[in-house]
Amino acid sequence: MILIISLSISVLFILWLLYQNNIFDWLCSTIVTCSQRYRSHRYAKRIILIRHGESQGNQDSNIYATVPDHAIGLTEKGRAQALHCGNELKKLIGKNETIFCYVSPFRRSRQTCELICKAFPNGNLIPIREDPRIREQEWGNLQNLAIKEKTTAERKIIGRFFYRFGNGESGADVYDRVSSFMDSLYRKMDYTLKPNNNILIISHGLFMRLFLMRFYRWSVEKFETLENFNNCNYCILERCDETGRFILKTELKLYPESKTIENEQSLLEEVNPSIHMVNIENQEKKND
């Protein structure tokens, strides 16, 4: 009994001593950092953002006045683009790697996803998950063609991020949806996926740019420099095994006056955004 009491007192004394010398804080910090690194190395091998193939709306924008945005499907060209995209991704993704798909509920996105998945054996595919949060920006039901030019001009002045369509959403609203979706994405990677998994997100051009903005914590100004992705273009974020970072492997199209955009983000920095905000400030000082 005396021995147990003595050992307990000794342990408490050692812990108190460590605490007084900040060694306890350092030890806890080291454990947390190692845990975060372990988690980041277990995350998906790649996150691949894919825009849907050419739709009837891309071919003739007047269709938005008579057909709901979510019901607009692919053209024949769009279907061919999706099949080609699947074959291109098959060259990138290894035979022993698995694929998990998130898809927008819009018809053109679901059709694109179905055609892309035809390139892969069923054994590679984990069941597809439809997620309404990655849908297209809401433009306010059927569009009024009479005010189309006025809307376009106003949006150009206000910017893609802040402009709100009548009865619809602004880019900032979609950004909030992206944030909610990313929380679910991280939980998925934390608990159910393995390091050889690829995550395909079949969505829309604006969503893809806002996803990159949110993931890399770019400013609104940097978001505004990005041009839209072409139909069935994809953007690859690949995990670096040495650092646990997701590196942007795809060169982005920028408007001519745009500056270079920072191209990688640590998953640890995503958990602790204050770290990355310092990096952004330092980068902006270099650009000034």
Please tell me which residue in 84, 88, 97, 136 is annotated as part of the active site.
Answer: 136
Q: Which helix (H) or strand (E) holds 151?
A: helix 148-158
The reply to whether 108 sits in an annotated binding site is yes
Which candidate, 173, 156, 189, places its Cα nearest to that of 271?
A: 189
The reply to whether 270 sits in an annotated binding site is no
The C-alpha R_g of the chain, in whole angstroms, comes to 23
Express the helix, strand and coil content of the chain in percent, nearest 5 each: 55, 15, 30
Q: Is 227 among the residues known to form the active site? A: no
181 neighbors 131 (Cβ within 8 angstroms): yes
Q: Cα–Cα distance between 170 and 166 in angstroms, integer? A: 9
Q: Is 84 among the residues known to form the active site? A: no
The reply to whether 94 sits in an annotated binding site is no
Question: b or e along 98-124 (b: 16 or more beta carbons within 10 Å of the residue's beta carbon)?
Answer: bbbbbbbebbbbbbbbbbbbebbeeeb
Which candidate, 230, 205, 218, places its Cα nearest to that of 284?
A: 218
Please tell me which residue in 52, 169, 270, 276 is annotated as part of the active site.
Answer: 52
Q: Cα–Cα distance between 248 and 46 in angstroms, integer? A: 10
**Dihedral sign of CA atoms 20, 21, 25, 28 in order:** negative
The pair of structure tokens assigned to 3 is 């021995």
The reply to whether 55 sits in an annotated binding site is yes
| Residue-level length of the chain | 288
Q: At what angle do helices 23-41 and 2-20 cross, to 10 degrees?
A: 80
Cα first-last separation, the chain: 69
The reply to whether 123 sits in an annotated binding site is no
Catalytic residues: 52, 136
Q: Specify binding-site residues for substrate.
A: 51-58, 108
Q: Specify binding-site residues.
A: 51-58, 108
